[in-house]
Structure 1
Amino acid sequence: MDRAPGLGVRLKLTLSYAGFLMLAGVLLLAAVWVFLLRGRSTNFQFPDLADFARVFDPSNFGPVVFVPAAILALGFLLVFGLVGGWILAGRMLAPLTRITRAAREAGSGSLSYRIELEGRNDEFRELADAFDAMLAQLEARDAAQQRFAANASHELRTPLAITQALLDVARNDPNRDGGELDERLRAVNARAIELTEALLLLSRTDQRSFSREDVDLSLIAEEAAETLLPFAEKHGVSIETSGDIAPVIGSHALLLQLTTNLLHNAIVHNVPEHGSVQISTAIGPESVMLTVENTGDKLSPQLVSTLTEPFQRGTARTRGDDARVGLGLAIVKSITQAHDGSLTLSPRAAGGLSVAVRLPAAQRRP
């Protein structure tokens, strides 16, 4: 936005210091006149140069000499206030120069610059520390978005490349089986649609563009378990649900998607036979907890810390036929953050994964 030129902050502070000093001088001289010289001769005349020379002789001090002395004092205060104010304002505003430089560096795309203002804590250092923290968050988000864009481009390119290869083979093969080709193309297209819908869901939750209502997480857990029961039986996995009523304020559809993703992930990443999944809810004074635990292979903390990254599938534990687009836990994390909650993943000592979603509890109505 274009703005009209104005006085700099340093000049404004300098004039303010000088003006305040002049005002204090005028009040001081007025007090001297009223309380010390008012009872003496009241003859007043405009001072000439000789009067200024008599100022420096204390024996001649009186009402006539007071005026030129006051003028000299005010002149000295003005000069002293301007010079001192300019120096003091420069020292006080020095941190703003570094903050401005950091803002310009960030505006040009360089998010790695840090102010790192030294010294004891004050308002400028609090501002600098807050700005450094903001730059660190922006840098981390920028790196995450770049990784996400690269991974999303790769994931979207894969089904398109497969489709192109199938069509090329079919065109060059006169004895092709049209039914088999249609089935494979349908599967590839379904995968591309699933990936696109997952990306749209991530965008929706990141923007928090959804309506909120009273939701009971325990009912959502039962609904997700009932929906995925045939899928679990197919993989030889049992599902156990338990817990208390867990009221929250949020989107029923998104919270159901969150629970379904967790449950599907727990079924797929399980032992080949006789696996189990426990899903439970609990309520505390200010929050509710949804916990999903499953049996499975032993996982390292390093691997678990990466599972919420987009397109991180943990392929060493995934059956190929059940592999999804790799956004399941990323969507869970996004939905949790959109509901002002926290997500915790931890490996189980006996193998498998434990996932805990903590959300703010809905206020009970009287």
Structure 2
Amino acid sequence: MSVRLKLTLSYAGFLMLAAALLLAVVWVFLLRYVPDGVLTSPEPGPSPRLFIPNQSDLLRAFAPRAAAVWAFLLVFGLLGGWILAGRMLAPLTRITEATRLAADGSLSHRIRLPGRQDEFRELADAFDAMLERLEAHVAEHQRFAANASHELRTPLATTQALLDVARNDRNLDTDELVDRLRTVNARAINLTEALLLLSRAGQRSFTREHLDLSLIAEEATETLLPLAEKRGLTIETSGDVTPTVGSHTLLLQMTTNLVHNAIIHNRPGQGTVWVTTSVHPGAVVLAVENTGEKLTPHLVSTLAEPFQRGTERVRTNHAGVGLGLAIVKSITDAHDGTLTLIPRPAGGLRVTVRLPTAPPTVRRP
């Protein structure tokens, strides 16, 4: 049976039960004032006897009318229950239709259930929010797949072109060819590793441990210090002890990407990178700030998307694969944090990562 039929039978059954109880109460109430036998007038004489109905007479008069009322309530309960059940289940019909459309691939449909804020309205609003997030997620994955295919096709096409040139030109310098092939292959490897890291961070399949984000920032800075010195940049680090919980490998990769981007997208010979850590109520903050060219808010809002570069996709020796800030955002999300990118008025970028602070550890006596 359908839910509507079940609700109809439930409404009608409850109404019949209530009617039966009401009729039973009326019957018992009437029996209190009706005698069992036939009573006549006690006065003697030729006057006729006064007739008073007994319980048998009452039963004959009450039973047909009670049955008629009960039958009417049965029909009324079934009809009214069917209408009420239909009105109650109407929102579920709209939600079911939206679910079928979503199952067929149409994620742009929304229920937008009108009316007061009740359980069905909350369910419909939650379903609309889920569809909105799912649509954005699918669109992001489609863009990511298209960009990844494009990025992976580039080194493969370059390798194919180099091999074709080498096959047609027998006098080609093989050492130069090998060096160029190694460069293209290294780029393809870096891109593949970045994609794997991005996927791992999105799945949150890592072990969490208590960490000090300031120590991770120092480790990343020391690793990239030779690159900064080579480009004539200055790195300034400062901050407090910032306890948090997460993966040391992922958080180190996140910080390394931020510092690396701050070094690459900077002013060679006169730029500065600031790396600071701080503690706030309920959160620890890592801020990486650098000098550089002035950036528009629109461009900054797209930098965390996969394969977006602040240099408008101009390839250099250190341009990377366009996944640096996308990996940072994925790692931040995996650690229940927030990523904020703000252009500096004087030029450059300020990136802030806010992570939950580590809960206090209980020391056992």
Deviations 1:13-68 (A, max 9, x none): 1001000000100111111122232442458xxxxxxxxxxxxxxxx982332222
Hey, what's the Cα distance between the residues in 1 that align with 2:261 and 2:303? 11
- Residue 326 (structure 2) pairs with residue 291 (structure 1): no
Deviation per residue, 1:132-162 (Å, 9 max, x gap): 1111111111111111111000000000011
**Conserved in 2, the CA contact under 8 Å of 1:268 and 1:318?**
no
Amino acid paired to 1:339? H
With over 3 angstroms needed to count, the CA separation of the structure-2 counterparts of 1:81 and 1:171, relative to structure 1, is same
1:83 is aligned to 79
Asked if 2 retains the 8 angstrom alpha-carbon contact of 1:343 and 1:356, the reply is yes
What residue number does 1:8 align with?
Answer: 2
Corresponding position of 2:34: 40
Query: 1:364 — aligned with what?
Result: 360
Per the alignment, residue 305 of structure 1 pairs with 301
Matched, 1:65 2:61: yes
The 1:42/1:81 distance shift into structure 2, 3 A limit, reads farther
SS for the counterpart of 1:167 is: helix
1:238-277 mapped onto 2 (5 Å cutoff)? 238-277=234-273
**Residue 319 and residue 152 in structure 1: after superposition, are their counterparts in 2 closer, same or farther (change >3 A)?**
closer
Gaps of 5+ in 2: 38-55
SS at match of 1:187: helix
Give identity over the alignment, percent: 71
- Matched to 1:28, the amino acid is L
Secondary structure of the equivalent of 1:116?
coil
| Among candidates 181, 184, 192, match of residue 180 of structure 2 | 184
Give the counterpart letter for 1:221 in structure 2: A
Given the alignment, which residue of 146, 149, 161 partners 1:150? 146
Aligned length: 344
Shift of 1:310: 0.3
1:198 aligns with 2:198: no
> Normalising by structure 1, what TM-score?
0.91
Paired letter, 2:178: D
Contact 1:289 1:359 in 2 (8 A): yes
- Structure 1, 135-144 or 16-25: larger mean CA deviation: 135-144
Distance in 2, matches of 1:209 and 1:240, equals: 33
Q: Give the counterpart of 1:161 among 147, 157, 161.
A: 157
Aligned mate of 1:21, from 15, 22, 28: 15
Q: What is the one-letter code of the residue matched to 1:112?
A: S
**4+ residue stretches of structure 1 with deviation over 3 A?**
316-319
Whichever of the two has the greater Rg, that structure is: 2
